[in-house]
Chains A and B, each alone.
Chain A
Amino acid sequence: MTLTALTALLSHWRCNGLQFFAMVAGLALATALWSGVQAINSEARASYDAAAATLGEGQFDQLLPRSGDRIDQSTYIALRRAGLQISPVIEGRLRTEEGGIRLVGLDPLTAPGTIAPVGMQEDANLDDFLIRGVLFAAPDVAVALDGAVSQRIITDPSVAPGVALTDIGVAQALLDADNQLSRLIIATAQPMGLPDLGTVAPDLIRQPAQDAGADRLTDSFHLNLTAFGFLSFAVGIFIVHGTISLAFEQRRSMVRTLRALGVPLTTLIGLMISELIVFAVLAGGIGVALGYVIAAVLLPNVAATLQGLYGASVSGTLQLRPEWWVSGMAIAVLGTGFAASGALWKIAKMPLLASARPRAWAVASGETARRLGLVAVTLFLVGGGIAIWGQGLTLAFVLLACLLIGAALILPLLLRSAVTLADSRARSAMWQWFWADTRQQVPGMSLALMALLLATAANVGVSTMVSSFRVTFVDFLDQRLAPELFIRIEDPSQSPYVEAILLSEAQDVLPLLSAETEIAGVPTELFGVRVGPTYRENWLFLDETEDVWDRVETGSAAVVSEQFARRAGLWIEDPVIVAPGLTLPIAAIVADYGNPLGQALISEPLFRSLYPDIQPLSFGVRTSDPTALRNTLTDAHGLPESAITDQSRIKAFSLGVFERTFTVTGALNVLTLAVAAFAILMSLLTLASIRVPQLAPAWALGLTRRTLGQLELLRAVVLAMVTTVLAIPLGLMLAWVLLSYVNVEAFGWKLPLYLFPSHYALLTLFALLAAALAALWPAIRLARTPPSDLLKVFANDR
């Protein structure tokens, strides 16, 4: 009996191949989009974890020479023979025709486990690295090195910009520094019972590991991607829901017949669930494979993005990680289950004797549309409540969900209203028929249009968010990286000497005094700055009073970071106790993205009066030729290479990274739209068969098939147009929630929202194009429907 019933159930798909394709393809696409985003996300995370720093300079404590910039190799050997687990590094400037390159030599045998000195590839083995000598460098550096060294050069984009990596022995030879080292990396785990470092190496100074500060930015980037994954899943689930409901609706009569012929309901439901699981697994498998392809195509960009900005090395190949394989399959099965539960419930509750006439994707007949609208309004109210009173990241995501689901649910009602409005203004009979007929189509197209709404809104939202992020970040970089070179020293006693050198060589020197303290209960870095044109010209504030820098310069006000202001509950003009006995008003709030500590800025003289013992350890240096100044500082004044950071270069690199982030976001946007277009295509194709009886009277009354086809196309475009126009404000609200709400909850800082109208216009065009393309085929099919098929409608033979 079971087998016979199953044969009947399955025979439906044989006769409705298109529907089967729509269901499997819809599920597969939804899964693909989800797992593609997940894959990119997890791959990016894994890559970041795998190589938090190309050189590991930040993550390990290091030993540096107390004076000069070289350590004798015998000191290293002595420390090793005393049992210390340290690894030698030599670095120096290698002159090439293209300019100086920072050459870093490492010992792979002793380097701590998590340092990734080089992306060792198949064509480079240890013999090469240790003995014959191989240099690893990013492509531009590799080009510059060509001809300058006799060693083999391997291009590896994971090497930090401006740096070439090689074995320590090779580096010593190239730098003409035999038996000399620059610094020693200290492994995290050390053997038990070692002598005190100070007694075995009195000439070395231990520099603690530095927080690269990049994790927080990475987290923000990942959160954005996660939000995108969430949106794409929502789009996918609509498609799955649509196809599944359709498949069930169309088999209502068969279910009734089977039950009348004696197939028990439980058997039927069981069979349908098994059937669905098989389809879900099949489609999920295809989807995960597709997602892999998507991720593989996009990954080079993602990898480059992370490598660049976060110094993470990413292997060029994508791994099929079990977590996103499993999550992709789970999404397919659970999504199907979610989508099918309603349909199965209806089947189970359907009276045996009820009319079994199939209904197309019907979610929104007039009554349903109004009911959905009511739910939507409720969701909006809940969302509004959360926006006003809610707190916490979870609630922020709930707000996002309320907004999205509410918008999707209210769509049928809005579409009906729009069409009714158009109908009331229609002049000719043809247009009256067109609008009335369109209203009839709204329920059938609702799910597909919901998918389009979400896809377009996600597009608007995510691109607004990323663009806003980018604009803000560029400003931030301009502000913080305004000095071309940045000098950091370890020994406070050298500070006046270094400052004197800098003053003699550079246009402008900006010493930075800092002290960690607690202000208004917030752990804060207090800075003393030398107010000058650099600050006046480059600093942008989130909120400010008049004459900010004048007030700071005269010691009558302070500038604080947004994080500080938010955590202390203060804003401009509020007084803040900077130190015991010193209360200053806040003159301005400055953005400080990705910093867990609060920041407060006061003038240099005021700082020195508060902390007379603190010497500046950092200097910003303004110059028109950073490379020349850098060379002068190292060659003529003996400043160590590692103390100088070329900020102009970091800035250029960071900007390049954001361009690539853009590329990835753009590609994902196109994909989401494609999926929505597919949903429209499928619903139109499905409707087409039901359409014939509806169109036959219009044809009989004198509309040509060609006109009918054109009207079908027009209808799809009109519905898509209304949807897209609704999607833009929705997308902007989405971006607003992400930037002003989710980001604040997650990271404690708010990103300003910028609008990009031309982008939205282009997006609208794309969405309409997608809808038109999707509608084209069904319209052509309709225009070519043989008159005999139309005539059949009038033959009451059956």
Chain B
Amino acid sequence: MIGKLLCLVLLLPAQALAQGFAGLGTDAEGFAVPTPNPAFDFPQDHAAHPDYRIEWWYLTANLTGPDGTAYGVQWTLFRSALAPETRGGWADPQVWFAHAAVTTPDQHLVAERIARGGVGQAGVTSQPFEAWIDDWQMAGSSFDDLTLTARGNAFAYDLELAANGPLVFHGDNGFSVKSAQGQASYYYSQPYYEVSGTLTLPQGDVPVTGAAWLDREWSSQPLADTQSGWDWFSLSFDTGDKLMGFLLREDEGASFSSATWIEADGTTTSYADGAFAAQPLEWSEVAGRDVPSRWAVQLPDKGINVTVDVLNPKAWMALSIPYWEGPVTVQGSHTGRGYLEMTGYE
């Protein structure tokens, strides 16, 4: 029963995957729609945009323990609006939910939270920056200097993030097209966080250091209703260059790709559909389905021809909306590490 309700909340306001993964292909009626040539206004734009249907603060981190063990951390706050407005108290139509995960080579621990806006249980403010739900928090004096916490039944983490590079804007100055029909979102990242802190795992505390990448995206109808899922890569090469690329899979087997090449100094090159390519090489069974565990990724324009291997094929987010999210390593023309998200694998 409550499961049914949760589905309703999380798939809001869609009813089924027929309208794209997690209802993201739903019609935008009543909500604001992203338009080209955006003019961002910071720090206000780090906070919520309640007149858009869906929005997220999506942080992934590649971390290393004292013994060299690789870890992955995810912290995501979603905002899903039932109506394009805010109201005080329980009547607020803004529903917040969050996912947190820690991935080790042989473990994948996840937790989720859900809350209504309006009563103080969850929200995002810009000055000082604070994004929170219950005791999970990403907060700091500025967007460049943050503390990140989350806690599940079997894990917790407490990390310090310090940015050492500029914000990066995807697509056309932050206007990121998601389909040939013109669906789009506002999309920027802060891929330059240096991280240090502590993971609390069932076997004890682990001090970690590493790098994190924060994605900010909001839209009202980011997917076409024929798009059933996506494969999203954020790769940091040892050269200091970074690559964000994604494939949006269409129902009929076609796909729509987009990529941003980020040089060490923050200079970006955006690529339209077709420049970036990725093919699954190996599959692993997880949660009763097959999900790719090794990819071939190419961006010929920058001489990228690499193999991407997942750290732990079992990094399945068994939550109200299930998907795969976990750390990866890169081999081939370039080496490095990064994060991979795969959705819509049934």
Contacts and interface: CB of A to CB of B under 8 A. Distances in A.
A–B proximity contact (CB within 8 A):
yes
Given A168-B90, A192-B151, A192-B200, A126 B9 contact: yes
A371 to B, nearest CB: 58
A120 B82 contact: no
Contacts of B156: 191-193
B39 interface: no
Q: Is the interface of A mostly helix, strand, loop or mixed?
A: loop
A108 B120 CA distance: 17
Interface in B81-100: 82-83, 89-91, 93, 95
A115 B2 contact: yes
A126 B135 CA distance: 25
Given A108-B2, A109-B9, A191-B151, A81 B135 contact: yes
Contacts of A117: 1-2
Given A109-B116, A191-B111, A126 B8 contact: yes
A125 interface: yes
Interface string B44-59: 0000000000000000
Interface in A139-197: 167-170, 172, 178-179, 189-194
Given A119-B1, A167-B90, A131 B116 contact: no
Interface in A101-157: 107-120, 125-127, 129-131
Nearest to A85: B134
B264 interface: no
Interface string B116-150: 10011100000000001011000000000000000
A125 B8 contact: yes
B37 interface: no
Given A126-B9, A191-B156, A192-B151, A83 B82 contact: no
A81 B2 CA distance: 22
- Name the residue among B1, B93, B111, B119 with the largest chain A CB count within 10 angstroms: B1
- Name the residue among A109, A126, A194 with the largest chain B CB count within 10 angstroms: A109
A145 B200 CA distance: 51
- Name the residue among B4, B5, B12, B83 with the largest chain A CB count within 10 angstroms: B5
A368 interface: no
Nearest to B114: A109
Nearest to A191: B151
Contact of B82 (A111, A113, A131): A131
B197 interface: no
B90 A172 contact: yes
Interface residues of A, number: 43
A83 B134 contact: yes
Given A73-B119, A131-B83, A113 B2 contact: yes
Nearest to B134: A80
B200 A110 contact: no
A55 B154 CA distance: 28
A114 B5 CA distance: 12
Given A80-B121, A107-B116, A126-B82, A193 B91 contact: no
Contacts of B153: 189-192
B3 interface: yes
Contacts of B121: 77, 80-81
B152 A120 contact: no
A235 interface: no
A83 B134 CA distance: 6
B134 A126 contact: no
Nearest to B122: A80
A616 to B, nearest CB: 37
Interface in A474-515: none
B134 A120 contact: no
Contacts of A127: 13, 82-83, 93
A620 to B, nearest CB: 35
Contacts of B8: 125-126
Contacts of B82: 126-127, 130-131
A82 interface: yes
A190 B111 CA distance: 11
Interface string A61-104: 00000000000011001001111000000000000000000000
Contacts of B95: 109, 130
A130 B155 contact: no
Given A77-B121, A125-B8, A167-B90, A111 B151 contact: no
A601 interface: no
Contacts of A192: 151-156, 200
A131 to B, nearest CB: 6
B163 interface: no
Contacts of B3: 113
B33 interface: no
Nearest to B132: A81
Contacts of A116: 1-2
Contacts of A621: none
B115 interface: yes
- Name the residue among B82, B116, B132 with the largest chain A CB count within 10 angstroms: B116
B111 A120 contact: no
B4 A178 contact: no
B1 A126 contact: no
B153 to A, nearest CB: 5
B119 A77 contact: yes
B89 A169 contact: yes
Interface in B282-306: none
Contacts of B111: 191
Contacts of A82: 135
B4 A120 contact: yes
A120 B9 contact: no
A191 B134 CA distance: 12
A51 interface: yes
A177 B315 CA distance: 45
A114 B90 CA distance: 22
A53 to B, nearest CB: 12
A539 B57 CA distance: 66
A779 B83 CA distance: 75
Given A119-B1, A130-B116, A169 B90 contact: yes
A479 to B, nearest CB: 36
Contacts of A168: 90
A51 B115 contact: no
A178 B119 CA distance: 11
A131 B89 contact: no
Contacts of B114: 109-110
A208 to B, nearest CB: 21
Nearest to A114: B2
Nearest to B96: A109
A317 to B, nearest CB: 14
Nearest to A178: B89
B120 A120 contact: no
B151 A77 contact: no
A129 B8 CA distance: 11
A117 B4 CA distance: 12
B241 to A, nearest CB: 39
Interface string B1-23: 11111101100110000000000
Contacts of B4: 120
A625 B82 CA distance: 46
Contacts of B5: 108-109, 120, 126, 129
B124 to A, nearest CB: 15
A255 B115 CA distance: 75
A193 B200 contact: yes
A120 B5 CA distance: 8
Contacts of A130: 82, 90-91, 93, 95, 116
Contacts of B2: 108, 111-117
A150 to B, nearest CB: 14
Given A51-B1, A131-B82, 14 more contacts: A77-B121, A80-B121, A81-B120, A113-B2, A117-B1, A126-B8, A130-B82, A130-B91, A130-B93, A131-B93, A170-B90, A192-B155, A192-B156, A194-B151
6 contacts: A82-B135, A115-B2, A117-B2, A129-B5, A192-B155, A194-B151
Closest 8 CB pairs of A and B: A169-B90, A83-B135, A116-B1, A126-B8, A191-B151, A77-B120, A108-B5, A109-B114
